[in-house]
C-alpha cells in the first residue's frame, strides 16, 4: 500500500452530508504532489489571535534580551517559551487618530480606516487574506474567521466610525469584511460538513448523535487499510473530534428554556468564557490537523468589551478598567485579564505542540501572531503594542527571544515577514519598511 496504493492527502471520511478531512498520515506521503506536504516540506500554517484594548505594558514586557525570565503577564508561556518571540516597540501609525475601531481594523491591515458611519466603509485587504489567496487555495476553506462575541452591533460604534471596523478582523478586499463565527456548533459544521438544511440542523441539535456515528462504515474500511501507527493517529484524531462534539452538545443541553435556534442566535455556547475560548481554540486545532484550512483569525474579545471575568476574580468590566488614570488597583485588574488571555493561548499552543504532524508537530509547522492594535488603552495610543509570535513555521523561526526596538517599528514589517515565512512573497505590505531580519 505504501508504494502503490497511498492515500491522497485530500482523503476524507463521509457520511450523511458531512465530510471529515483526515490528518497527515504515513500512508499519504508517497501520494503527495509538489503542492502538498511531505515530511521534508510540511504544510505551513498562519494564524492570528487578537486581544482588545492593549495591555498593562510594564507587566507584559520581558525584562531581558531573551525569554529566560518571563514577565508576569507572559509567565504561562513557560512550557512553550522555546517557540515564542516577543517584539517590543512595534506601532500601527495608520491606526490614529486613536480609537478602538481603528485599533481592531488596522491590526491585520496596517491601513487607515475611512471615517464613516455608513456603508461606504473602506479599509484594505488584510494580511490573513493575502495569505489565503495563495496558501489557502489547496484547502476546502481558504481561511477561517472565529470570534468570541455572538452579537455584533451596527451603525456607528466609536467616534464616528462604522461598527464594521470593530466587528471584523479580516477583509478580503477594502470593501469586503469577513464576519467571524462565535457559535461553536456553527463553526463545527462549517469545518466538517454543511449539515443539510436549517431544518435538518435543528433536528440534529435534538439528538445526541455524533457525526462520527454516520461514518462508522467508512472509518472501519479506512482502519483496515492502515498500518498500526496510522490507525493510532486516526483514532486519536477521531477521539478529539468526538470530545469537541460532546462539549458542544453539553453546552446546548445546558441552554434550558431557549427556543430552538436558527443557528444565528446565541444558543449552545458555554456559559463560562474560559470554556467557550477553549472550545474555539480546540476547533482551530482540528481545522489545522485535518488540513481543512491553513489560515485562521480569532478575536478573543471585541474592542470596548464590557465583559467581566469572574473566573479569575475580576468583577469590573474590561473597558472601564483600561481607563484608569494610572490607578494601581485597576491596572492590576487589567494585568490579570491580560494574563488570563495569554494563558488560554498558551494552552492552545501546548495542544498544537502535542499534535503530531509529519516529522514534527502542528506547532512546529505553524506560526501565530498574538497581540493588540492598541498599546496603552488609557490614552488610546498605537505604539509599543503587546505583540508576540509563536510557532516554528516549519523550521523558519527560532523562539525564546525578545526583540526590542529602540524606536517605533511598523507592525507591517512583521506582517511582511510572516507572510514570507509561509511562502507568500511580497515586496511591501501597507507601510512596511522591510522584513524583520532577526526572524529570518
pLDDT, residue 243, reads: 75
CA distances from 148 to 49, 62, 151, 172, 247 (A): 11, 28, 9, 21, 16
pLDDT digits (tens, 9 = 90+) for 130-179: 999 999 988 989 999 999 997 666 666 778 999 999 999 999 999 999 99
Residue 147 in grid coordinates: 470570534
pLDDT in tens, 311-327: 999 999 999 999 999 99
pLDDT at 123 exceeding the cut of 90: yes
pLDDT at 341 over 80: yes
Report the alpha-carbon distance of residue 299 to residue 129 in Å, rounded: 15
Contact by Cβ (8 Å): 171, 178: yes
Whether the CB-CB separation of 124 and 174 falls below 8 Å is answered with: yes
Query: Taking a C-beta distance cutoff of 8 angstroms, is the pair 133, 14 a contact?
Result: no
**C-alpha grid cell for residue 399?**
523562539
State the DSSP H helix or E strand holding residue 58, giving kind and residue range, or none if neither.
helix 57-60
First to last CA, the chain: 39
The predicted structure's pLDDT at residue 103: 97
- What does the angle CA 47 – CA 52 – CA 53 come to, to the nearest 5 degrees? 140
Cα separation, 251 vs 249, in Å, equals 5
The per-residue pLDDT for 17 is: 55
90-112 confidence digits (pLDDT tens): 999 999 998 999 999 999 999 99
Task: Record the pTM.
Answer: 0.84
Mean residue pLDDT across the chain: 86
- Alpha-carbon distance 60 to 414, whole Å? 19
Q: Which tens digit of pLDDT belongs to each residue from 326-338?
A: 999 999 999 999 9
pLDDT surpasses 60 at 354: yes
CB 297, CB 128: distance < 8 Å: yes
Q: What domains appear along the chain, each with residue ranges and CATH number?
A: 46-182+276-439 (3.40.720.10)
Q: Look at residues 247, 257, 313, 241 and name the one whose alpha carbon lies nearest to residue 22.
A: 241
| Distances, alpha carbon 45 to alpha carbons 80, 88, 233, 341, 393, in Å | 18, 24, 20, 22, 7
Confidence of residue 262 (pLDDT cuts 50, 70, 90): very low
267 vs 99, residue with greater confidence: 99
Of the candidate ranges 219-223, 331-335, 358-362, the one whose mean pLDDT is the lowest: 219-223
Amino acid at each position: 500500500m505504501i508504494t502503490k496504493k497511498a492515500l491522497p492527502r485530500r482523503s476524507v471520511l463521509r457520511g450523511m452530508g458531512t465530510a471529515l478531512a483526515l490528518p497527515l498520515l504515513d500512508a499519504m506521503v508517497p501520494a503527495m504532489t509538489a503542492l502538498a506536504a511531505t515530511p521534508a516540506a510540511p504544510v505551513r500554517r498562519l494564524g492570528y489571535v487578537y486581544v482588545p484594548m492593549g495591555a498593562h505594558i510594564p507587566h507584559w514586557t520581558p525584562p531581558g534580551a531573551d525569554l529566560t525570565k518571563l514577565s508576569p503577564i507572559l509567565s504561562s508561556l513557560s512550557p512553550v517559551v522555546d517557540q515564542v518571540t516577543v517584539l517590543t516597540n512595534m506601532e500601527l501609525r495608520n491606526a490614529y487618530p486613536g480609537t478602538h475601531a481603528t485599533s481592531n481594523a488596522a491590526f491585520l491591515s496596517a491601513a487607515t480606516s475611512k471615517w464613516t458611519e455608513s456603508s461606504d466603509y473602506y479599509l484594505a485587504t488584510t494580511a490573513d487574506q493575502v495569505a489565503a489567496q495563495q496558501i489557502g487555495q489547496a484547502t476546502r476553506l481558504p481561511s477561517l474567521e472565529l470570534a468570541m462575541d455572538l452579537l455584533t452591533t451596527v451603525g456607528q460604534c466609536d467616534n464616528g466610525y462604522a461598527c464594521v471596523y470593530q466587528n471584523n478582523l479580516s477583509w478580503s478586499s477594502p470593501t469586503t469584511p469577513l464576519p467571524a463565527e462565535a457559535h461553536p456548533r456553527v463553526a463545527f459544521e462549517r469545518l466538517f460538513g454543511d449539515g443539510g438544511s436549517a431544518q435538518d440542523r435543528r433536528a440534529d441539535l435534538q439528538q445526541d448523535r455524533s457525526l462520527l456515528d454516520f461514518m462508522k462504515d467508512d472509518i472501519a474500511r479506512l482502519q483496515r487499510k492502515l498500518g498500526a501507527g496510522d490507525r493510532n493517529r486516526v483514532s486519536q484524531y477521531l477521539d478529539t473530534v468526538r470530545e469537541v462534539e460532546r462539549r458542544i452538545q453539553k453546552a446546548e443541553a445546558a441552554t434550558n428554556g431557549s427556543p430552538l435556534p436558527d443557528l444565528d442566535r446565541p444558543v449552545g455556547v458555554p456559559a463560562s468564557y474560559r470554556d467557550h475560548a477553549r472550545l474555539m481554540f480546540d476547533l482551530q486545532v482540528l481545522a489545522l490537523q485535518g488540513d481543512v484550512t491553513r489560515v485562521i483569525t480569532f478575536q478573543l474579545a471585541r474592542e470596548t468589551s464590557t465583559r467581566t471575568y469572574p473566573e479569575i476574580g475580576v468583577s469590573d468590566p474590561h473597558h472601564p478598567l483600561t481607563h484608569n488614570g494610572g490607578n494601581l488597583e485597576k491596572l492590576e485588574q487589567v494585568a490579570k485579564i491580560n494574563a488570563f488571555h495569554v494563558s488560554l493561548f498558551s494552552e492552545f499552543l501546548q495542544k498544537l505542540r502535542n499534535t503530531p504532524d509529519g516529522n514534527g508537530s502542528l506547532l512546529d509547522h505553524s506560526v501565530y501572531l498574538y497581540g493588540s492594535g492598541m498599546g496603552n488603552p488609557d490614552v488610546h495610543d498605537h505604539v509599543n503594542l503587546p505583540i508576540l509570535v509563536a510557532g516554528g513555521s516549519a523550521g523558519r523561526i527560532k523562539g525564546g527571544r525578545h526583540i526590542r526596538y529602540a524606536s517605533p517599528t511598523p507592525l507591517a514589517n512583521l506582517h511582511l515577514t510572516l507572510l514570507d515565512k509561509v511562502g507568500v512573497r511580497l515586496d511591501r505590505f501597507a507601510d512596511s519598511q522591510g522584513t524583520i531580519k532577526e526572524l529570518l
